[in-house]
Amino acid sequence: MELLKQKIKEKGEQVRALKAQKADQSLVDAEVAAIVELKKQLNGITGEDNKNKNKILLKVPKGTRDYNEIEMAIREKVFSTIISVFKRHGAVTIDTPVFELREILTGKYGEESKLIYNLEDQGGELCSLRYDLTVPFARFLAMNGTQSIKRYQIAKVYRRDQPAMTKGRMREFYQCDFDIAGNFDPMIPDSEVIKIMIECLTELDIGKFTIKVNHRKILDGIFEICGVPEEKIRPISSAVDKLDKSPWKDVRDEMTNEKGLDPIVADRIGEYVKLKGGKDLLEKLYQDQKLCANKNAKGGLEDLFLLFKYLEVFEVLDMISFDLSLARGLDYYTGIIYEAITEHSGPPTLEDGTKVARKLKKDSDEFDETTIGVGSIAAGGRYDKLVGTLVGRTNSDIPCVGVSIGVERVFSILLQKYKPEQVKANEVEVYVIAVGDGLMEDRMKVCAELWNAGIKAEFMYKAKPKLQPQFSTCDRYQIPFAVIIGKDELDIGQVRIKDMRSKEQGGGGGSSVKRSDMITELKLRLGKV
């Protein structure tokens, strides 16, 4: 291809030279025709067609991706790990449509609502792709009058955000949600949800992680005693939420400049939201008379005392960090909130310990992925009012608490751990091989016998395959056993079974068994009895 490009360039220079020399037009024409021909060849190679009408851009939409068989094998392992934890805690699963009536999603996501994907109005209802699984779950509860359920749902959600693919930040991505809905005694389901989050992340083996915990009521109490006007509480909360990726100075700027907060109030908030610790911090805040004079803050702190007691029973308290800067962006949380972070979560840090500032790629509106982290890998909280809001009556509230595992981010961490050759996508157990004249129908017959016995088997889709390519296929896909058939042996009712891993010898490769014993012998070797 480079050669062709070079030739085209040379011809181009020749044309310019000929024109400069005022050469005969026929000479110029000949050179131009040659260039056209060369360009055709080049387009053929690069997949571009001369006819523009046939030219289709072969790519997936921005922020989405395909998963090949190796990636899927890892993903399925991740899902099955998570599902087994969810089921161990008694969860059932439900499913909801990928799009919802638009008005159901409206007003649930605060500043993030602008990221919702809408379906085109093609007549009929106005719909949008789901933004998370929580609002659809609340809609499900409201619609069905479900009073109590422990459910998980693993499904894709959609956000028109700036993607950072290698960090698992995508526009189409899976969420693995576990939620407990129902009226129960305080902090019992909340502590189990955190326990579940910890079990999932531990079993996924993603390395060290921490659970940051906070309480919306404590935050609201802090905002109230610092003097934030009521209508600014949610926007100021959104600003605080950015403290994990931006320094306090930037967040303070957002509060005072963008959101018009009195700088003195912002500084008061700053004193609180920089606090983090464990039970000690909880006790310290409980001594703060000004804070505890606020009903919200006091209630939140008491919730956390109880939560910490239960987490201690579950022997997971050492993984918890009470972090007053944790705010969570979404509007619907009403109680405790939490987020799991790993060493990969934040932006990279410089040698002096400061965080790398986010920046865009050169000549692009996309982030430079070396300047951002994967973010939180699991998050959730309590949302007691969402169902009531959907029904439109507060006496229809169903208290809920849940967690969402950001499986793409987990996946991006695991992809760095596994090498493709460590992952086996194909599960075939037996390859049926012919020696000699192809024996097409006999190979099919043997394979059908294996399938009917529940053995995973394949044969080569060639009427008369050579022996070597058949063996190579076994090696390439790490197929453990071969059944080798030949005319003479078939005639006396025999086949050979060869263990392809041990490269076992004997009887010209593999051991002869009676055709009628083939299934029993293979099941024995495959440990299927």
Binding residue numbers for L-histidine: 132-134, 159, 175, 179, 328, 332-333
84-to-89, 197, 204, 414 alpha-carbon distances in Å: 9, 12, 11, 18
Which of residues 21, 118, 370, 516 is near a copy of itself by CB under 8 A? 118
CB of 17 to a copy of itself, least distance (A): 34
Q: Is the CB of 146 or the CB of 256 nearer to a copy of itself?
A: 146
CB of 424 to a copy of itself, least distance (A): 10
Q: Is the CB of 243 or the CB of 336 nearer to a copy of itself?
A: 336
Alpha carbons 254 and 243: distance in angstroms, whole number:
11
Phi and psi angles of residue 501, each rounded to the nearest 5 degrees, phi first = -80, -45
Q: Under rule CB under 8 A, how many of the chain's residues touch a copy of itself?
A: 99
CB of 274 to a copy of itself, least distance (A): 33
Q: Which helix (H) or strand (E) holds 379?
A: strand 378-382
Which of residues 1, 3, 20, 58 is near a copy of itself by CB under 8 A? 58
CB of 425 to a copy of itself, least distance (A): 4
Query: Which x/- pattern, by CB under 8 A, does the window 148-167 give for a copy of itself?
Result: -x-x----x-x-x-------
Q: Is the CB of 87 or the CB of 501 nearer to a copy of itself?
A: 87
Query: Which x/- pattern, by CB under 8 A, does the window 338-377 give for a copy of itself?
Result: ----------------------------------------
Window of 114-122, 249-257, 280-288, 327-335 that interacts with a copy of itself by CB under 8 A? 114-122
Please check whether residue 204 is in contact with residue 78, taking contact to mean a CB–CB distance below 8 angstroms. yes
200 near a copy of itself (CB under 8 A): no
- The position carrying tokens 């004997």 is 506
Structure tokens at 412: 């991006």
Q: Is the CB of 36 or the CB of 98 nearer to a copy of itself?
A: 98
Q: Is the CB of 41 or the CB of 370 nearer to a copy of itself?
A: 41
441 near a copy of itself (CB under 8 A): yes
Which of residues 1, 20, 60, 492 is near a copy of itself by CB under 8 A? 60
Window of 134-142, 332-340, 353-361, 495-503 that interacts with a copy of itself by CB under 8 A? 134-142
CB of 125 to a copy of itself, least distance (A): 5
Three-state DSSP class for 277? Answer: strand
Spatial CB neighbours of 361, under 8 Å, sequence gap ≥ 6: 367, 368
Structure tokens at 23: 């050469």
Site residues for a copy of itself, window 298-327 (CB under 8 A)? 309-310, 313-315
Which of residues 3, 22, 26, 61 is near a copy of itself by CB under 8 A? 61
Spatial CB neighbours of 285, under 8 Å, sequence gap ≥ 6: 218, 275, 291, 292, 297, 301
Which of residues 19, 36, 44, 349 is near a copy of itself by CB under 8 A? 44
Burial class (CB in 10 A: 0-12, 13-18, 19+), 111: middle
Window of 8-16, 221-229, 420-428, 480-488 that interacts with a copy of itself by CB under 8 A? 420-428
Does the CA dihedral 86-91-96-99 come out positive or negative?
negative
Alpha carbons 184 and 189: distance in angstroms, whole number:
8
Site residues for a copy of itself, window 62-91 (CB under 8 A)? 62, 64-69, 72-73, 75-76, 87-90
Alpha carbons 212 and 198: distance in angstroms, whole number:
12
Radius of gyration of the chain from its Cα atoms, rounded to whole angstroms: 32
Q: b/e per residue, 185-204, with b = 16+ CB within 10 A? A: eebebbbbbbbbbbbbbeeb
Structure tokens at 94: 């439900």
Window of 118-126, 228-236, 296-304, 378-386 that interacts with a copy of itself by CB under 8 A? 118-126
Instruction: Tell me the angle at which helices 216-226 and 263-273 cross, rounded to the nearest 10 degrees.
Output: 140
7 near a copy of itself (CB under 8 A): no
Which of residues 448, 499, 508, 514 is near a copy of itself by CB under 8 A? 448
Query: Which x/- pattern, by CB under 8 A, does the window 90-109 give for a copy of itself?
Result: x-xxxxxxxxxx-xx-----
520-to-23, 282, 515, 516, 525 alpha-carbon distances in Å: 84, 65, 10, 8, 9
